[in-house]
Structure 1
């Protein structure tokens, strides 16, 4: 009689709940600490709202980059060198995702909490009853609303930049972006995500140029009429150029070429030096 040993069934991998539980408990402890230390409810509100928006934006972009990764059929030397990093990340994905999204969220929330007074002044803005001669807006708009809009633009720029860096690192780790392979620099998923985030950055840069136009009200006494007009023209032109560059980056997934968008970005930098810096000075000198 022959006895057969029972064959073991397929081993089930235990869910890695410890990293996720640690991240959740750490977030709860941090939130409780902020509630205890926040001087005002306004600061707490801004911390939670802007911190959550930053964490969600970075976390969703990282998750999307990981979700859209393609299997590595052919391993290039560059990808072979990254294989130990992928193995290290494989068992710690929930914890790493919570850390990568949580750290920028905490920093953004802390930065937003310092603008609680400005937010309150913007919400409860009281008109002065006097308007500037250039834009015909109440002077209270320049003291409260414009700085708050500028903070929102800066926050959006920081969130888009953090998402770009984090998702770019994920794409690079899993072969979506390759620096050494000239035949295939990026996959379709990486190209779409990177181009959209870059277009978002340039659109926010255009908004920053548009808000810079209102700074001329505070410099009206220093600038002459010709310099004032040149300043406004320079900021308006830079705003248009930034929007054109954003459109070029949105066209990258369709055209499958980075060169026009990168060329437009370089031209934007050149225009900022020439138009924003030299043009008003030249007009003032000739005037």
Structure 2
């Protein structure tokens, strides 16, 4: 066979067999890397915006009113900065005020609470002062005179109830259902202490994390940087790329991650919730796929030109 034809044949087979196969493997690796970067960016957005958050959709107007009354110098958003011990103290006081509001509202809509039902023209009010001695609620007549005073105790501790009886023996106590049957002098609100507590904890349950969860939440925002640095550094150590190539690849991947996280942050700020996580993932992944596809196409076009030149030469 003509040696020139033999050389051309071997060159073509080399390109078809080795180079195209290597190019395919390279593209698959790029796709896997794009998936890894996208997951890391989405996880970082979740760690930044949704790891410790308050579900405001579960904050009812009554719960919000009880908080504002109990803590006039705080905002609900301040709770995300508190320790678990601080939150426990907040919830204890908040629960007591919420119970008072529940009793007030139930009475004012005509329900019987304990053995109490309002008469025509009467209405119930909660004490304006947080340090009001003796009573927590008053039942007022239509002319504003006081018909009855009550203490409201949201607790499952009978000793706490007994202390209140000793201190204010002339004021009736209405309690949560857990302790109402333990003392004949108590008025049963038919409101559960556990239910009230859960209604406050549920919107903030992500704030009560274990030490491991807190550690992971601190790590997640840095996950894209850690993954990019580790994977590019490993390739440099193994001799699969130069330090300059690793730097260039790292900058490109970092730019995509930063841009996608920026979109996620914007969506989170606009209150799109979990859609911000999906947006972060989608932008990073499809941007990476687009760039990698273009890179593979350019390499193929280059190889095709080289073959054409080789064929024209021989």
Bin for the TM-score computed over the shorter chain: under 0.3
Which structure shows the higher helix fraction? Answer: 1
TM-score normalised by L of structure 2: 0.26
Instruction: Return the structure number with greater relative CO, CA threshold 8 A, min gap 6.
Output: 2
Which structure shows the higher strand fraction? Answer: 2
Query: Which protein has the larger Cα radius of gyration, Structure 1 or Structure 2?
Result: 2
